[in-house]
Chain A
Amino acid sequence: MAALFLNDPAAGKGAGKYLTFILGGGAFGIPILKVREIIRLIEITPIPRMPDYVRGVVNLRGKIVPVIDLRMKFGLPTTATTNRSCIIVTLVTIASATKLMGLIVDAIDEVYQIHQEDIEPAPDFGKGAPTGYIQNMAKGKGHVKALLNIDQIVQDDHAILPLPSILTDKANSSR
């Protein structure tokens, strides 16, 4: 149903409501329909012999949900968690099956309506950096948000997906 709505041509490519969050000073967005809920940082059980960015699993009311640390995945320096850190529980589609997946982010920003005219395709960040996981860029409120393709990030098997530094640096200066 979520996928149906997002692919609806009438809705415009990429336009719609996004949950935006902060990570390493940069602002990012994921489609609100991919978000199941937001929970505080609860105790995470690590899984042995998994890449570092896989922090482990949590108990979400009896369901076991894997959690990945987006900071680590993007190769950003790890910092101590604050009381604004939280887990976004997302619905990801892996191999045409929908699964729950938790993402640790620095802070939640807001739910934001992004209009078609504010969306631009992701620029070439150069240096052959894999950028397929950045679907679009959205302008608005003075800074740029990178709209992420969560499915692709989760499935990527690189230890680290380098984030173009421009995304976090620029946002840092504007904040």
Chain B
Amino acid sequence: MSTLSEEQVGEIPLELKADLDADLVNEFISDAREQLENIEQGTLALEKNAQNQEVIHTLFRAFHTFKGNAGFLDLTAISQLAHMLESLLDGARENRLQINLVIIEIILKSRDTLQQFVDEIEAQNSGKKPRQIILIPTAALKVSMRHMLSDATAHPAKSVPGHTSESAPADMKAAPTPALSHDEAITANSAHMNGATPHLVKVATSKLDGLVDLAGELLIAQSLIVQNISSPTVNRHALSRNLDQLNRISKELQRTAMAMRMVPIRGTLQKMHRLVRDIAAKQKKNVQLILEGEDTEVDRTIVEKIADPLMHMVCNAIDHAIELPDRRAAMGKHPTGTIRIRAYHKSGNIIIEVEDDGVGLNRERILEKALANGLVKPGATPDEKELLSLILQPGFSTAAVVTNISGRGVGMDVVQKNIAKLRGKIDIKSTPGHGTTFTLRLPLTLAIIDGLIIRVGGQRYILPAIAVRESFHPKSGKVTSLPGGVEVVEMRKEIMPLLRLREHFHLMDGADDAGGGIMVVIETDGKKRCLLADELVGKQEVVIKNLGEVFQTDPMVSGGAILGDGCVGLILDASALVHLEPETKELKFAV
């Protein structure tokens, strides 16, 4: 079954037929992505244990499905490659072929080729790229696979490991060392992570059933209330009980609806296996990755956006923290370094810890570099936390400072920025010689924030509570005008620029408050700013609504939320507020 006739070998151009149903193609893509993920995980598991029959079966089935789906859409190039892979695994399944590193490598390479096909098809199907013939070389892969298979059939006895590698074509012999550099690995991996944006959502039936049940309860509660009100003698007691019921149901309904957006973080974490494998091999280090809490559920959008920062952190850990095996042995550590990624829920947040047992951060050199960069004033003695968080500042190359490995180190400031965009925080703990732990604290969802509602003139605005440090009466801080019209506030020997919101928003309509308003200090990106508002109205969880593209030119307003009285309150962007320049022009409406 595994032999292909000669004419089928060679590069086969792939063309998306014009009459192909776009929905069908989308279905193929989303299914293919799932299979590709299974294949990658399976292959990596096979690398650890080549005898695992269960995994071999899974892989076989994955390629079989791939072949079938591609065949259905007439994507011959794909189905033939998948067919070869299927045959290869069939050989392994029937013990005709021994899985070894060369085979693992070729499966991974083929998987990446299939991924390229899928990416290209998706781009063309969605109209991002014009329809054209897709030509991705597959012949070399197919030829090497065929060699492996024919060798295996020529020597039907169980081949010794490494046997097939001798007969593989020359270019395949070098395969086990991945040819990707650190940076390339990042881009390649981030490409398939970003590309993996699913258009379809898989929801557990139990969640869906729960939602339907709640919708039913909601209808009953609603009809009870209508009955209560329309009856000639309104029973206040029954009415308030039913309203309570309605309240409970709507809360539950919201929770269930939000839960539908939650997916386990598993997929994102598991992708790190491949990354660790590739980079560790490249750097000639031994690294094992241990994942914990893969079933922790996180909002879909967060899962997607966390992938890049996590990848950077894992790369940094391998690149700069984990030592070479002999050095580790000399230090009395296990030659294999360990990176542990742990995900769990804690007080309404999701926590992701990235822990390595490498060299740890070198405090003296961080301070040295910070002094040289002017991030720390001479004579200042930043505490442990402040000192370590310096590496999150832009222009702070961890590579040069901490380990002296020159180079391609990815700036931690990028990670910090990405995490801040998700309204998260990073904590760093480090023991010299024993390793570093980065703790990411992220909100469970991006759709709801804890907001502090402030009043400015006749308007109410919402500040993200995570950015608010403190508030105080204006009298307790000293306001000084600097030349050029900039005002600063001095509070506990700290000087912060002041922003009078009422003037900034041109809300001069209302009378000045006798009390003089309230100062609110916000801090984000390591910068502070003091805002003068009229009143603190309260704290409330608000559901973030998009203002639509027309307002996206305004960096100050990050969204809107419906307040208790049905009016829209604008959510202010903390990052834009702290970075605000004194003079800003009027913005344009519409794009």
Q: Which residues of A contact B (CB under 8 A)?
A: 43, 45-51, 53-54, 56-59, 62-66, 68, 94-95, 97, 99-101, 154-157
- Of the candidate stretches B59-67, B233-241, B391-399, B555-563, the one touching chain A is B555-563
Interface of B is mostly: loop
Contact yes or no, A45 B570, CB < 8 A = yes
List the 7 closest A-B pairs by CB distance, nearest first. A48-B505, A45-B568, A64-B560, A64-B545, A54-B589, A57-B568, A59-B568
A97–B568 touching, CB < 8 Å: no
Instruction: List the B side residues contacting A100 at CB < 8 Å.
Output: 548
Knowing A59-B567, A63-B545 are in contact, say whether A45-B589 is a contact too (CB < 8 A): no
Please determine whether B547 and A64 come into contact, CB atoms closer than 8 angstroms: yes
Are A99 and B567 touching (Cβ within 8 A)? no
Q: Quick one: given A45-B459, A45-B560, A48-B557, are A64 and B568 in contact (CB under 8 Å)? A: yes
Give the residue name and chain of the B residue nearest to A155 (CB): B590
Q: Are A50 and B554 in contact (CB under 8 A)?
A: yes
Nearest CB of A to B551, in Å: 6
B484 to chain A, nearest CB (A): 21
Interface string of B569-591 (1 = CB under 8 A from A): 11000000000000010111111
Judge whether A48 and B556 touch: CB under 8 Å: yes
For B587, what are the chain A residues with a Cβ–Cβ distance below 8 Å? 49-50
Min CB–CB distance A77 → chain B (angstroms): 20
Contacts of B549 in A (CB 8 A): 94-95, 97, 99
B566 near A49 (CB under 8 angstroms)? no
Closest chain-B Cβ to A65's Cβ sits at a distance in Å of: 8
Tell whether, in the assembled complex, residue B589 and residue A50 are in contact, meaning their CB atoms are under 8 Å apart: yes
B506 close to A (CB within 8 Å): yes
Given A45-B560, A48-B554, A64-B545, 10 more pairs with CB closer than 8 A: A45-B568, A49-B556, A57-B547, A57-B551, A62-B562, A64-B548, A64-B560, A99-B549, A157-B588, A157-B589
Docked pose: A47 CA to B570 CA in angstroms:
8
Closest-CB distance, A101 to chain B (whole angstroms):
8
Nearest-Cβ distance from residue A143 to partner chain B, whole angstroms = 31
Partner among B507, B556, B567 whose Cβ is within 8 Å of the Cβ of A43: B567
- Let me know if B546 is at the binding interface, CB within 8 A: yes
A96 CB, min distance to chain B CBs, angstroms: 11
Indicate whether A51 sits within 8 Å of B589 (C-beta atoms), given known contacts A46-B459, A57-B547, A64-B545: yes
9 A-B pairs, CB-CB below 8 angstroms? A47-B551, A49-B586, A53-B589, A57-B568, A59-B568, A66-B548, A94-B591, A95-B549, A99-B549
Q: Within 8 Å CB of A63, what residues of B?
A: 545
Specify which of A43, A47, A154 is in contact with B590 (CB 8 Å cutoff). Answer: A154
Q: Answer whether residue B157 sits at the interface, using C-beta atoms and an 8 A cutoff.
A: no
- A47 vs B587: C-alpha distance in the bound complex, in angstroms? 11
A55 → chain B closest CB, angstroms? 11
B446 to chain A, nearest CB (A): 16
Q: What is the number of contacts between chain A and chain B, taking CB atoms within 8 Å? A: 84
**Hey, which chain A residues are within 8 Å of B588, CB to CB?**
51, 157
Would B551 and A66 count as touching, CB distance under 8 A? yes
List the A side residues contacting B567 at CB < 8 Å.
43, 45, 59
Cβ distance A136 to chain B, nearest Cβ, rounded Å: 23
B:188-203 near A, CB below 8 Å: none
Inter-chain CA distance A94–B591, complex, in Å, is: 8
User: What B residues does A57 contact at CB under 8 A?
Assistant: 547, 551, 560, 568, 570
Closest chain A CB from B32 CB (angstroms): 28
B562 CB contacts on chain A under 8 angstroms = 59, 62, 64
Known contacts A45-B560, A46-B459, A49-B587; is-contact A66 B547 (Cβ 8 Å):
yes
Q: A57-B547, A64-B560, A66-B550 given as contacts; is B506 within 8 A of A49 (CB)? A: yes
Instruction: For A155, list chain B residues within 8 Å (CB).
Output: 590-591
Question: Bound state CA distance, A100 and B507, in angstroms?
Answer: 27
Q: Of residues B504, B505, B546, B548, which shows the largest number of chain A Cβ atoms within 10 Å of its Cβ?
A: B548
A101 to B560, CA, bound (A): 16
Residues of B with C-beta under 8 A to A46: 459
Cα distance A63–B351 in the bound complex, in angstroms: 32
Contact partners of B560 in chain A: CB under 8 A: 45, 57, 64
Measured CA separation A62–B556 after assembly (Å): 22
Asked if A99 and B550 make an inter-chain contact with CB atoms under 8 angstroms apart, the answer reads yes
Check if B505 sits within 8 Å of A49, measured CB to CB: yes
Q: Which residues of B contact A54 (CB under 8 A)?
A: 589
> What's the nearest-Cβ distance from chain B to residue A94, in Å?
6
CB-CB under 8 A from A50, the residues of chain B are 551, 554, 586-587, 589
- Closest CB in chain B relative to A52 CB, distance in Å: 10
Residues of A contacting B589 in the complex (Cβ-Cβ under 8 angstroms): 50-51, 53-54, 68, 157
- Chain A minimum-CB-distance residue to B585: A49
B residues less than 8 Å from A48 (CB atoms): 504-507, 554, 556-557, 570
